[in-house]
Structure 1
Amino acid sequence: MDHLTVIIGAGLTGLTTAAFLRAAGRPVLVLERAAHIGGQIRTYREDGFVFETGPNTGTISSPEVAELFELLGLEPEIATPAASNRLIWKGNKLYPLPRNIAEAVGTPLFSLWDKWRILGEPFRRRGGQPNETVGALARRRLGKSFVDYAVDPFLGGIYAGDPDQLVTRFALPKLYDLEQRYGSFVLGAVRKARQPQSERDRKASRKVFSVQGGLGLLVEALADYIGREHILTETQIRYINHPGAHTFGLTYTDASEEEHTIPCRHLVSTVAAHHIPTLFDRFPANESAVFEQLYYAPMIEVAVGFRRNVATHLPAFGCLIPSRENRRILGILFPSDCFRGRAPEGGALYSIFMGGVRNASLIDLSDEEISTIAMEELRDMLHIPHTCKPDLLHISRHRHAIPQYYADTELRQDIIRRMEMRWPGLHLGGNMHGGIGMAHRISQGVEMARSIIEETAIAERSARG
């Protein structure tokens, strides 16, 4: 077996795990069900436009992100200063999302009463409810209008979720930690900013990034580094047995439907939660239900491009729509404001997001209905004349896009820990736990690789006596 690690799933988590294992000289095999790798990350090029049909950007919020780019010899493309502007729709107008307390006091987004509440935030008691939702926490500390016009659209943009269902310690653990450790978001942020940082910590610049030419090139760089001969697509896992510690037998079929069985010492799964019970023989029914019940919000992404930019808006990362505004979309990103080469010179590219928890049924609309909604909303919000027809319109759908971290997340995490203890050598990753952003996926992949490298080193020392 030579300490082979088999990784199920060639999304960002699985590929990152494989890359860091290869960097340590460890043998890997990556099995992917789809015909392409990268999970939801896909970049398209059409008529001078470069657009994504999955994640559009990431944030360098952990050192592991910078270290992955260093490993691959790839330069992240850092977003322009426009990316620091986030717009919020209220009434019939776009307003900048406040970036500090002074802007929060001056914005028309929040009520006068809640502006006083924001100023008084450092003096409120910390919460004692571990499963308090983000909406309840923010309402308690900052007020209703802050939830309506900051938290709600923010979570709509990240999770496509409902602030009154997402549990803070799972969905936004750093925010939860600020209140629990320091008693205040404001005081906590100030104190953390003053803490000394190591040279490695400073790699986490928190800058918004992509890759010049699109995020698909990050996936290609990962595949090249791992070695494409170590990645198999169009595979189907038949079953996995576990006769002993660090001993797995995995049976799968390849693209030609030929069956293979391979032994391995370490097994990594990065698949969606509802697929976990199908991988293992005799999976307990009560544990199976916990994985199958994780809700993934559906998403529709519509890329719209114009060769001549006629929209009127503040250059920005994009705009978000609060649910109380009752529009049919979640938000619009402005990729050509933030990155070079996303549209022809003088043109503009927009990514419109629809669906989510808020409007899940939209996923079943026809392409014609979706394109009509997208263009009506885009024209109305950005004042694009009806005479101006798009030069690009591309629709992509993701029925199981973004996992929602509700109160049952803790039970799922407990089961994951128990499974990994019960089956030494098993590592369960993927966005069913640990965060949904690109930085979360990269960090988790690095963490799993390091754990496997450490376990392997211990086993090798033990074998040498």
Structure 2
Amino acid sequence: METRTLIIGAGLTGLSTAARLRAAGLPVCLLEGSAHVGGQIRTFRKDGFVFETGPNTGTIASPEVAELFELLGLQPEIASPAAANRLIWKGRSLHPLPRNLQEAIGTPLFSFRDKIRILGEPFRARGTEPDETVGAMTRRRLGCSFADYAVDPFLGGIYAGDPDRLVTRFALPKLYQLEQQYGSFIRGAISKARAPRSERDRKASRQVFSIEGGLGRLIDALTDYIGRENILTESSVQHIRQSDTHTYSLTYADASGEEHTLSCRHVVSTAAAHLVPSLIESLVTEDLSSLAQLQYAPMIEVAIGFRHVDASHLPAFGALIPSRENRRILGILFPSDCFRGRAPEGGTLYTIFMGGVRHAYLWDCTDEEIRTIALEELYDMLRIPASSVPDLLHISRHRHAIPQYYADTEQRLDTIRRLEHKHAGLHLGGNMSGGIGMAHRITQGAEIAKRIIVDVAGSASSVR
């Protein structure tokens, strides 16, 4: 009986799935179209600086994240206490984002009217519109200034998206459930904090993490655990066919263009949504437009390092810019405030995020134009002297960086469910569903692997 699983895409979802399957003793093969393993996760080292060109951090938001580190024998580097500070730009200066009710009442970020409104949030009626956007929900429950100066920059930092288009139950499902289950964000958060947690659930510490030396070390550890011989890079999947009800055949072209065909019991796609229809069009007859039409925010990431710099800001995770402040960047991360070894001794590393849905037009700018904008914004916001010259400046671009969970998400999820139900052994993963963060990708990989392990065990029992 064929027990091998073929996984399309060697990003974090694919690698996490493969690691779980290998831990269960099942054979796997990953096919990656590029020459690089790890998807958008990539760490570079230059002149004493260590910087990321994709995701910068993750959160231990589920037990599966902690369990993956245990499986790999890898120790996460937990962010310093400075990471608890998040800054918001308003009126030509940076202000700490409130972390509790007392700070929310004292902050200049919110209007007096909305501070009173926040106090009344536990008594407000729950919403009835299932596709209510995050912007609409927060204005309804907390007021306009809270939506403008907390939620808008927060979503700009996570999704690089528009709060008035992102649907709460898909983009922030935990927030949506707080209102649905408890009738209030505040009341729900208090109840959740008081609820007993199992020993396994306590593994989800919610701490912000990286890896000493960069997130690329996580990819290296996953690659070593899975076995480099089980990962085929520069391998372009041509088509997938179902040989019978229990077996798939997958044809791919290697770097030289030569085609090869592999058979498997399970095939897992972790490809971006717009690539999936071409992968499975020979396998299915269903309308796949809901997958093809998923919108992605483009992102430009600029790493800027100084061996010595005179800057003015509170040690923090970073700073976010609300839409209404009309700046040309989405935010700035301060990696050297949060993790050791990101800059030479006495130096500072910044990561600037640009583009997104808000400034999609920046994608067409040249690297020189991006460099100019990034430096002008950084120097102005952090009061860096104009005479300062960076010792590092690296620009990276991601055309399809972050999926946008709009009102069409339900249709896409329905399509995925129908396809997986009709074609046993087909698994459609990746960030087109299930969340965009590293924790979401690791958790989804564990869930897919669990389904495969259960199926293989059941098939083996029936054969006996």
Same fold (TM > 0.5): yes
The CA deviation string for residues 404-447 of structure 1, in whole angstroms up to 9 with x for no partner, is: 00000000000000000110001100000000000000000000
Q: Is the 8 A contact 1:52 1:215 kept in 2?
A: yes
Give the 3-state SS of the residue equivalent to 2:209 in structure 1. strand
Residue in 2 aligned with 1:159?
159
* Residue 89 (structure 1) aligned with residue 94 (structure 2): no
Give the 3-state SS of the residue equivalent to 1:99 in structure 2. coil
- TM-score scaled to structure 2, two decimals? 0.99
In structure 1, distance between residues paired with 2:244 and 2:234 = 29
User: Over aligned residues, Cα RMSD in angstroms?
Assistant: 0.9
In structure 2, distance between residues paired with 1:324 and 1:271 = 35
The 5 Å alignment of 1:57-68 reads: 57-68=57-68
Q: Is the 8 A contact 1:290 1:412 kept in 2?
A: yes
In structure 2, distance between residues paired with 1:246 and 1:195 = 44
- Give how far 1:311 is off: 0.9
In structure 2, distance between residues paired with 1:287 and 1:407 = 18
The 5 Å alignment of 1:294-443 reads: 294-443=294-443
Give the 3-state SS of the residue equivalent to 1:213 in structure 2. coil
Residue in 1 aligned with 2:273?
273
In structure 1, distance between residues paired with 2:280 and 2:10 = 19
Give the 3-state SS of the residue equivalent to 1:89 in structure 2. strand
In structure 1, distance between residues paired with 2:288 and 2:454 = 30
The CA deviation string for residues 290-315 of structure 1, in whole angstroms up to 9 with x for no partner, is: 11110000000000000013111000
Count of residues in Structure 1 that have an aligned counterpart in Structure 2: 464
Letter in 2 for 1:147: A
- Give how far 1:285 is off: 7.7
Q: Name which of structure 1's ranges 310-319 and 241-250 shifts more when overlaid on structure 2.
A: 241-250
In structure 2, distance between residues paired with 1:373 and 1:309 = 19
Give the 3-state SS of the residue equivalent to 1:350 in structure 2. strand
Q: Is the 8 A contact 1:329 1:353 kept in 2?
A: yes
Give the 3-state SS of the residue equivalent to 2:344 in structure 1. coil
- Gap regions ≥5 residues in structure 2: none
- Give how far 1:364 is off: 1.2
- Give how far 1:257 is off: 1.7
Letter in 2 for 1:45: R
Q: Name which of structure 1's ranges 150-159 and 191-200 shifts more when overlaid on structure 2.
A: 191-200
Which aligned runs of 4 or more in structure 1 are off by greater than 3 angstroms? 281-286
In structure 1, distance between residues paired with 2:122 and 2:283 = 48
Residue in 2 aligned with 1:175?
175
Letter in 2 for 1:90: K
Give the 3-state SS of the residue equivalent to 1:221 in structure 2. helix
Give the 3-state SS of the residue equivalent to 2:287 in structure 1. helix
Q: Is the 8 A contact 2:242 2:283 kept in 1?
A: no
Q: Is the 8 A contact 1:246 1:423 kept in 2?
A: no
The 5 Å alignment of 1:68-217 reads: 68-217=68-217
In structure 2, distance between residues paired with 1:60 and 1:216 = 17
In structure 2, distance between residues paired with 1:152 and 1:246 = 47
Q: Is the 8 A contact 1:245 1:425 kept in 2?
A: no
Q: Name which of structure 1's ranges 281-290 and 198-207 shifts more when overlaid on structure 2.
A: 281-290
The CA deviation string for residues 94-138 of structure 1, in whole angstroms up to 9 with x for no partner, is: 000000111000000000000001000000000000000000000
- Give how far 1:244 is off: 2.6
- Gap regions ≥5 residues in structure 1: none
- Give how far 1:289 is off: 1.4
Q: Is the 8 A contact 1:9 1:31 kept in 2?
A: yes
In structure 2, distance between residues paired with 1:136 and 1:183 = 16
Letter in 1 for 2:102: A
Residue in 2 aligned with 1:11?
11
* Residue 30 (structure 1) aligned with residue 26 (structure 2): no
